[in-house]
Structure 1
Amino acid sequence: MLATRLKKLGTLYRKMRIELHIIYKFFDQQLIYAASLSFYSIFALIPLLLIFFSILLNIPQFHTQVQDLKETILSNMLPTHTDMLSQYLDTFLENSTKLGVMGIVSVLITSILFFRNFEYAAAKMFNSKPKNFLDSLVVYWTMITLFPISLALSVYFSAEVQKTLKGVADLSLLFDWLPYIITWSMFLLLFKISSNKPLRLLPLVCSSLGTTIVWLLTKWGFVYYIFYNETYKSIYGQISILLFLMTWVYISWVIILCGMRVCEGLMSNFGKKIEQTFGFKSMV
């Protein structure tokens, strides 16, 4: 009797080890790709924001939404020290008006390098072929052009609807959830566009929803940690803002890439259990 139970426990232990190894093989490259994307993100951040706000500022109807959008974007880029980051951003944007031809070329090159790096990482996560250079340039340049307009429109219509329906108690809960719904929609759209292959609706919805929940909870934990941990601020002073920014960008990319990988896992039954447990068609 004891021998039978020990045998069952041994079998269960081996199965658990195999399952854990399958999960490890499926997720073992995310940290490397996240580090690479974080590096490019830091360099591409100002050029992308420059393009973003330049588009909005050239549309007179959206001038009143620019400040709200800036606060929204910065609070997601760095959940703490938003006011100070906003001051730095204003300084950078003012200096950007002095860009010459070489400055514009460097902005374009930095943006293209970022998108190509993201395209490569996303293709690895979804086990798909990367888009060719021209297709990816068209897709992501269209995104960066239409995204600020779409976001401004969502803020504008949200504000208008809230004014119109102010005082309607049944809808107050909807407005409280609206930022989370928008965040979920952004992740869902990002997964859909970057996959470069058809995605089934259920894996796409579940993985993007899970990514949203994990990202929001991590954001709350990150704010809590920074608020109560004074060590970095006392040691590094103002430079701590850059350290926090780099850390949060890296954490965000880890979550996003893992979300993409989960979506691919739900699509493929985690590589059909890595070709029926190591028969062996690597997914990475």
Structure 2
Amino acid sequence: MDWFPHRVHLFLHYIHYLVKRVNHDRLTVNAGYMAYITLLSLVPLTTVLLTALSRIPTFADAGDQIQDFIFRNFVPAAGETVQSMFTVFIANTAKMTTIGLAFLFVAALLLISSIDSNLNYIWRSKKKRARVYSFSLYWTVLTLGPIFVGASIVVSSYITGLRIISDDAINFFYQALPILFSFSAFFGLYMFVPNLKVRVTHALTGALIAGILFEVSKKGFAIYITQFPTYELIYGALSAVPILFVWVYLCWFIVLVGAEITASLGEKELWHEETPYQAKWFVKTTDKLKKTSPNRGDSSDSPDTKSE
């Protein structure tokens, strides 16, 4: 049993290091920045995804199913109101010119670029991707992403249409599907977005914790909105707007916390530092990080202020 006190001691050191790392990286500020960018890019990104799906005959009718699935399972409490608003917004984009649609595409790219920048900041990755490679990566996400989403909806509809599957199994499948999607999304972000090698076990751990936090937050947020309708009393019919912003902010905070957990698991040599992220610590550990990974460096620049 000698290993147990050692494990507890190591875990406490890790929690201390993780808290200091989160405070240093200003996750609350960055989550607000990402929420703002998301709200600006959400309609353009949705428009691009639905347009891409409509070009494929097999997935032409999957757009409405995707919207219903997302707002029902990932936007608690105010999902129906927000969905009706987005339906109007997306319908208005049909009146736009080619130049306007081009700006929508650029806005969608802005969100993906911001995700890439913030996650690589958390991993202290200083290695820059070539602009051509970055653009091709973002283009792939915007073009292949809708195909995978549409394919998953079509497969789900096919599975539920099979007579050999019981109603209980179908209900369990639909209940597990949002959890599986959120876990897969977290794992993909933590495993493939950082511009350095991430261990699979670390990405799985971060995705698992982020997924649990997301599900708990979704239930808790829905209870809060329904039991304490503060926003509805203040904003009335416009209450869906601040509710959506708060929820998107909370989602991004969870995403960034999961990223911090994943990144910090790969920095075990720094867990025992007594005063992490202080001036003396910073000078001493910068060399350690560089030796650990050639793509790591210091974290003195904020993701939204560092030069391209």
TM-score range, shorter chain: 0.7 to 0.9
Q: Is this contact kept in 2: 1:274–1:280, CA < 8 A?
A: no
Query: How far apart are 1:273 and its partner, in Å?
Result: 4.0
Deviates more, 1:165-174 or 1:258-267: 165-174
Q: CA, structure 1 residues 102+174, in 2 after alignment: closer, same or farther (shift >3 Å)? A: closer
Distance in 1 (alpha carbons) for counterparts of 2:52 and 2:139: 12
Partner of 1:226: 225
The 1:132–1:251 alpha-carbon spacing in structure 2 relative to 1, beyond 3 Å, is: farther
Q: Which deviates more, 17-26 or 246-255? A: 17-26
Distance 2:108 2:174 in 1: 34
- Aligned to 1:166, the other structure's residue is in SS state coil
Structure with more of its chain in helix, by fraction: 1
1:131–1:72 distance in 2 versus 1, CA, 3 Å: farther
**Larger CA deviation: 241-250 vs 32-41:** 32-41
CA positional deviation for 1:99: 1.2
Distance 1:231 1:136, change over 3 A: same
Q: Give the corresponding residue for 1:209.
A: 208
Q: Is 1:84 the equivalent of 2:81?
A: yes
- Kept in 2, the 8 Å contact 1:26–1:283? The answer is no
Secondary structure class of the residue paired with 2:77: coil
Q: CA deviation at 1:144?
A: 2.0
Structure 2 CA distance, aligned partners of 1:201 and 1:21? 24
Unaligned stretches of 5+ residues in structure 2 = 1-9, 287-297, 301-308
**Offset, 1:173:** 4.2
Q: TM-score, with normalisation over the residues of structure 1?
A: 0.84
Match of 2:5 in 1: none
Aligned amino acid, residue 211 of structure 2: T
**SS at 2:95's partner residue?**
coil
Q: 2:46 aligns with which of 49, 65, 71?
A: 49
- How far off is 1:17 after superposition? 9.9
1:6 is aligned to: none
1:264 aligns with 263
Change (3 A) 1:234 1:150: same
The answer to whether structure 1 residue 103 and structure 2 residue 100 are counterparts is yes
Secondary structure of 1:196 counterpart: coil
Shift of 1:19: 6.6
1:34 to 31, 34, 38: 31
Q: How many residues align?
A: 270
Q: Deviations over 1:243-271 (max 9, x none)?
A: 01111111111100110110011122274
1:123 touches 1:196 (CA, 8 Å); kept in 2? yes
For 1:90 and 1:19, the matched residues in 2 are separated by 45
Contact kept, 8 Å, 1:211 with 1:259, in 2: the verdict is yes
- After the TM superposition, which residues 149-164 of structure 1 pair with which residues of structure 2 at under 5 Å, given as runs? 149-164=147-162
RMSD of aligned alpha carbons: 2.7
> Displacement, 1:50?
0.5
Would you say the 8 A contact 1:264–1:270 is kept in 2?
Answer: no
User: Which residue number corresponds to residue 245 of structure 1?
Assistant: 244
Which amino acid is 1:116 matched to? S
CA distance in 2, matches of 1:225, 1:172: 26
SS in 1 for 2:266: helix
Deviation of 1:232 after TM superposition, in Å, equals 1.4
1:119–1:136: 8 Å Cα contact kept in structure 2? no
- Unpaired runs of at least 5, structure 1: 1-14
SS at match of 2:197: coil
Percent identical pairs in the alignment equals 22
Counterpart in the other structure of 2:291: none
| 8 Å CA contact 1:274, 1:283 repeated in 2 | no
**Structure 1 residue 78, shift from structure 2 partner:** 2.6
Q: Given the alignment of the two structures, is residue 131 of structure 1 paired with residue 126 of structure 2, yes or no? A: no
1:147: how far off? 1.5
